[in-house]
Amino acid sequence: MSPPGRWSRLLSAALELPGDGPPSCGAVLDLRVTSGEVLARVGASREGAHRVSLILPVLDAAQWDTVAAALGSQPLFRAHLLAGRLPVEVARVFEVLGLGLLPRGRAELVATCSCPEWREVCGHVSAVLEALARRVDADPFVLVAWRGLDRGALLAAVRAHSRAGREEAGDGGDAVPPVRVAARPLPADPAEFWCAPALPAPPGGGAAAPPGVLDGPLAPLYARLLRRSR
């Protein structure tokens, strides 16, 4: 078995799962993650397996919209999500928003099992939690589904908020309009293209000084410049 990844370690810490694995209660069969509930069977065979249910509160539409707006406004998260990846740092975004992607401890989780044991968390529930942690490492979007939204809906919402943010920035009144420069046609002769234009002629000796200059304190300087230009 491969070592646990970052997502499974976070889930295990949130649910206080033991690090040595669950007791031997049989194989986890038919693990399914739906909106607000994880369902599975645990046993040696489907006929004698015990049914396990893990119920978690889902986020409502307004809360998911807040999450999508926050993720869509961050270029790094947006790039990862639209590429089909859910970085582990997204869990922190939920926390900052006052929401939870991961369960907030066992108190938020309602776990039931069809076995006769009366313990708070029986071995079958522990086995399903461990299997769920491994599933989350392989596909962390199952946490999104467990909280009530499928992968496609989340990505569509992030994409919509990202597009709306770009349009809003483009319509800002303080935006500087682009400068458009008309292109000059290229000359037919290549030699003409590489030739520099002729320099302007220096001012002639008969150029008249601006009114009042020769009578002011700059008169000597102006007279000297006129003599140099001749």
Token pair 């979007």 in the structure block, residue: 141
Could you tell me the two tokens for 114? 């069809």
CA–centroid distance for 163 within its chain: 13
Pick the more confident residue, 66 or 215: 66
pTM of the model: 0.68
Q: What is the pLDDT of residues 157-192, one digit of tens each?
A: 999 988 776 665 555 444 445 545 455 666 666 666
Q: What is the pLDDT of residues 134-147, one digit of tens each?
A: 999 999 999 999 99
Residue 71: is it exposed, middle or buried by C-beta count within 10 angstroms (0-12/13-18/19+)?
buried
The pair phi, psi for residue 7, each rounded to 5°, is -65, -45
The pair phi, psi for residue 31, each rounded to 5°, is -70, 120
The C-alpha torsion from 106 through 52 and 23 to 48, rounded to 10°, is 170
Q: Distances in Å between the alpha carbon of 163 and those of 30, 61, 71, 171?
A: 39, 19, 12, 12
- Please provide the DSSP assignment of 66-83 as one string: HHHHHHHT-HHHHHHHHT
* Cα–Cα distance for residue pair 25/17, rounded to 1 Å: 16
Residues 6+ apart with CB under 8 A from 8: 133, 134, 136, 137
Report DSSP state, residue 55: E
pLDDT band at 20 (very low <50, low <70, confident <90, very high): low
Q: Are strands 27-34 and 50-55 parallel, antiparallel or unpaired?
A: unpaired
pLDDT of 195 strictly over 60:
yes
110-113 β-sheet, strand order: 27-34, 37-43, 50-55, 110-113
Q: What is the mean pLDDT of the segment spanning 194-200?
A: 65
Q: What is the pLDDT of residues 44-95, one digit of tens each?
A: 777 788 999 999 999 999 999 999 999 999 899 999 999 999 999 999 999 9
CA–centroid distance for 224 within its chain: 67
Percent of the chain having pLDDT more than 70? Answer: 67
